[in-house]
Structure 1
Amino acid sequence: MQMDTETNASGPSNVEEVGCVTPIKNTEEMTPPHEGMEFESIDQAREYYEEYGRKEGFRIKIRTSTKSKPRSDLVTRVRFACCNERSCIDKNDEHATGVKGRSCNTVKSGCKGVMTVLYNDFKGKWVVNSFKNLHNHKFVSPANRQYMKSRKHAPNAVKALTEAFVKENPMIGKIPNLFGGVNPSFDKKDCYNLLRNVKYKELEDGDAQTVLNHFKKRRLEDPQFFYAIQYDET
């Protein structure tokens, strides 16, 4: 379904951008989003559009969110967009356009595919206010959709195994091989990211003591390594 109109929510707009999100569900057949479609929560709306995008072969992101009032935490409008939404400006065109160019890790085509949802206070639900299925780029082929970046997530077993191996310091990159390649939605880079998160958590829990222990270890390994500590007077 294609619609060419989009109605903007009234009232003050406090807009913030966030990154791409990760699909969760795996539905084979589903109805495209349409105006008036209702969801119990914003997470449900996000998951539905993510899964629709996965089925079609494109990734989405939360483009903007609008709060009910300035300095309020209550979000009443969310706009989802295709991850190809913006256009990258080539550095060679900087002088012609007057806009600073930047390097892009992904291809941007200025895609107009969006879905906007508003919170209906009377119903207590999120309602699709507009839906534009206007994509101007090729979709990911069915054979490669399982490798889409937004689909990549490690199973709980991988997370538990990575955390259990942290203290033993094994070759974390070998963990995907233990699963025999049956789940291509994660790779060794994802395992290293999990390892990094676990180490950050340990740092939060141990705070200064963890840092001090690390410095002591470095000192034993490298006599030239130097560190100094300043204690609080209290």
Structure 2
Amino acid sequence: MEPDKQPLQNLQVDQPMVSSQGTLSNNIEDVTSDDNQLPNSLIPTIGMKFASVEEAYHFYNAYALQVRFSVRKNLNRKNKSNVVTMKCFTCNREGKPKERSPTKAPPKFKRPEIRIGCNAHMKINICSKGAYNVTSFDLDHNHTTSTPTKAKMLKSHRSISKAQKALGYLADAAGIKPKETYDLLAKQAGGRHNLTFIPDDYRNYLRTIRERDITLGDAGALLQYLQDRQKGDPSFYYAIQLDSDDQITNIFWADGRSLLDYGYFGDVVCFDSTYKTNEYAYLLLFLAIVFYRAIKKATIFIFKHFVDSWSVNN
């Protein structure tokens, strides 16, 4: 047998995993010390019931942690009322790799293929009482699963605890760099090998918090400020760009004095792209432009409204 290979074909799946009331068992400690065996109470079975899709996912993900593979939420089907009627959770190595376009240049570094057609999955369907039944389950993998020490770092099993989030939030508010905070959390846990998340997870958490902090109140206050400036200065010009989710991405404004100065000294325009970023990670540029990242769309937006603001007032 290959090292760390799970002999899943020897597992017994004829016993139910949940109680007669359909409640989910969280007794992961029941797993035996022998990595080659799992108690029947932790293995999905056909007909098992769950109260919700999330409950089914957490159960299958807990099973996956013991078998040492990562879970991906795959197929999804909803009815006219937008209620999920079918959901399939698969091994993250399910499916076929994407075919590269022949017109694209080959990559300098080829990454190992993740999707290799693994069929391991658990599918649930809604039943008459609103609960969900397991209607299909395949425990066989066509690949070697992870090692016990690495399994917790697979994508579906990585997580940041509430205490670590609280400390990370305070550190970020105090201006501590993410790398330094991650090292602090690792030292607190007794080493990086004891953490259950990677630096990218922490950075993603900070990004989520920052986006959440830019609340409607902040956007409303900014819009009110621009409107007040326009009332006191008829030449004041501003424009706001939104993304597909109606979130503010770029803002341009120019007051009458700036436009007048440009009329006299318009043969040179200077952009200061080295100005320090504020807490929202925006750059303050010429004519009080708020510019998030130097990307093509934002650049087009800025110069379009720069020209429009000059045209309106001349």
Q: TM-score, length-normalised on structure 1?
A: 0.70
Does the Cα contact within 8 Å between 2:124 and 2:133 map onto a contact in 1? yes
Alpha-carbon distance in 2 for matches of 1:161, 1:46: 28
Match of 2:55 in 1: 44
Q: CA deviation at 1:203?
A: 2.1
SS in 2 for 1:194: helix
More deviation, 156-165/43-52: 156-165
Match of 1:201 in 2: 212
1:110–1:26 Cα change, 3 Å: farther
1:105–1:26 Cα change, 3 Å: farther
RMSD of aligned Cα (Å): 3.5
Identical positions, percent: 23
1:138–1:149 Cα change, 3 Å: same
> In the alignment, does 2:149 pair up with 1:143?
yes
Alpha-carbon distance in 2 for matches of 1:26, 1:60: 20
Amino acid at match of 2:57: R
Give the counterpart of 1:225 among 273, 281, 286: 286
Q: CA deviation at 1:144?
A: 1.3
Ranges in structure 2 where 5+ consecutive residues have no aligned partner:
1-7, 10-25, 32-40, 223-247, 255-271, 277-283, 290-301, 310-314
1:152-167 equivalent positions in 2, closer than 5 A: 152-167=158-173
> In the alignment, does 2:129 pair up with 1:118?
no
Alpha-carbon distance in 2 for matches of 1:188, 1:89: 27
Does the Cα contact within 8 Å between 1:173 and 1:191 map onto a contact in 2? no
Match of 1:78 in 2: 87
1:172–1:40 Cα change, 3 Å: same
Alpha-carbon distance in 2 for matches of 1:200, 1:89: 32
Alpha-carbon distance in 2 for matches of 1:46, 1:224: 46
> In the alignment, does 2:202 pair up with 1:191?
yes
Q: CA deviation at 1:36?
A: 0.8
Alpha-carbon distance in 1 for matches of 2:213, 2:113: 33
Does the Cα contact within 8 Å between 2:72 and 2:156 map onto a contact in 1? no
Match of 1:56 in 2: 67
Give the counterpart of 2:179 among 173, 177, 181: 173
Q: CA deviation at 1:89?
A: 4.5
Amino acid at match of 1:77: M
SS in 2 for 1:65: strand
Question: Over residues 72-119 of structure 1, what are the superposed CA-to-partner deviations in whole Å (9 max), with x where a residue is unaligned?
Answer: 31111111111101121454xx67xxxxx9986752111111111111
Alpha-carbon distance in 2 for matches of 1:32, 1:79: 16
More deviation, 113-122/179-188: 179-188
Does the Cα contact within 8 Å between 2:171 and 2:181 map onto a contact in 1? no
Higher relative contact order (CA 8 A, sep 6+): 1
More deviation, 76-85/221-230: 221-230
1:106–1:140 Cα change, 3 Å: same
